[in-house]
Chain A
Amino acid sequence: DAKTTQPNSMESNEEEPVHLPCNHSTISGTDYIHWYRQLPSQGPEYVIHGLTSNVNNRMASLAIAEDRKSSTLILHRATLRDAAVYYCILLSVGFNKFYFGSGTKLNVKP
């Protein structure tokens, strides 16, 4: 199964943009890139996903490198409520499994 690599932790100031990186050098052509986040004492929450093109939604943007070996989750204006663990996951079309890594713990300072 394809693996992802993320920094253990990152820190940001409130109201500033945050760029959360993810490396996935063994990604295959049919792997989707998914991002979830987990707030303290809660279940994971879907953030965004994409295949090749950059994606935007109300929560975040996903920038995917041209070779697809890395991606970046962008929170445009961090708030204290964005403090969470962010997971980058690869999912192959036709496979039914999600593998979560250890994720990046984002700390947002007021």
Chain B
Amino acid sequence: AQSVTQLGSHVSVSEGALVLLRCNYSSSVPPYLFWYVQYPNQGLQLLLKYTSAATLVKGINGFEAEFKKSETSFHLTKPSAHMRDAAEYFCAVSSPSGGSYIPTFGRGTSLIVHP
């Protein structure tokens, strides 16, 4: 069984401030981990993914995430928030099932960026 917990349904930051979105997972096998972003009225777009290579993963739009096995965490960070980063962010864990890999998503964190 696998699950994802995203701490905080809403995170509010000022423009230029550090962004930290938290994600903790549980998985019975080594996981693959993903962060997706969803802008209003759009589908999900992959920000970055961890696939057991480097533990620090760099993604698009200046985001990065660090896989910490001991803490079962995969928190998403960005040094300086922009107004355009305001969106819904989803963490997902993926493990094998029936010959393919089905992701389980967290409930999402809405990032609010203040001018």
Decide whether A and B are members of one complex. Answer: no
- B contact residues vs A (CB 8 Å cutoff): none
